[in-house]
Amino acid sequence: MSDNSQVSLNDLFGFDQSQLDAMANLGADLYEQGKTKEAAIVFEGLIALTDSYYGYAGMGAISLSQEKCDEAVAYLAKAIELNPGDPTVRANLGEALLKKGRFNEAAAEFEKSLNLDPNRKNPGTVRARAILQGMGAAGSEMDRLRGLVEGSQAAKV
């Protein structure tokens, strides 16, 4: 091609939206069945075909489940760039950030997840709320322990 136009793999194969949706559903079903290797093939294919939100979200979930947090953050951030309104993807990104020790960023993603699902019906939102509560409880306990340590040190002086 000499006109420098961008051609996607999907332009060559010509899948319609219903076929792409079926691929995304297949990837999700495989992931839920614990067939992560097969699901990854489907999600990577979606990314190659269409730069698909579902491909990035799926690969992010797989990476997170495999404790590959750097990869998970990259995939999930791209998914959010393509579709910022998915509370589950926000919760997954929060969890990946939390595992990397990026607590403030994680809390912000959990809050965004909660704001996207005010009725708290989405499983990702439920998880985000539970993790946020745990983070709050851990922070309160750390404050209490700091107070005990400081009180102990003051008594020694």
Each residue's pLDDT tens digit, 28-82: 999 999 999 999 999 999 998 888 899 999 999 999 999 999 999 999 999 999 9
Residue 2 pLDDT exceeds 60: no
pLDDT (mean) for 87-108: 94
Residue found under tokens 């979606």: 46
| Tokens representing residue 74 in the block | 């990259």
Which band of pLDDT confidence, cut at 50, 70 and 90, is reported for residue 8? Answer: low
Nearest to 57 by CA among 33, 37, 84: 84
Nearest to 60 by CA among 85, 99, 89, 23: 89
Position 141 scores a pLDDT of: 63
Position 94 scores a pLDDT of: 95
Task: For CATH 1.25.40, list the domain ranges present in the chain.
Answer: 84-157
109 CB contacts (<8 Å, ≥6 apart)? 90, 91, 93, 94, 97, 128
Nearest to 60 by CA among 38, 39, 34, 29: 39
Tens digit of each residue's pLDDT (9 = 90 or more) over 115-149: 998 888 888 888 888 888 888 777 666 666 776 67
| Rg of the chain, C-alpha, whole Å | 20
Measured distance CA(136)–CA(17) in Å, rounded: 43
Measured distance CA(140)–CA(112) in Å, rounded: 22
Residue found under tokens 């990869």: 71
Position 43 scores a pLDDT of: 96
Position 99 scores a pLDDT of: 94
At the top level of CATH, the class of 84-157 is: mainly alpha
Residue found under tokens 């190659």: 48
More confident residue, 60 or 18: 60
Which band of pLDDT confidence, cut at 50, 70 and 90, is reported for residue 84? Answer: very high
CB 55 within 8 Å of CB 47? yes
Backbone torsions φ then ψ of 34, nearest 5 degrees: 85, 10
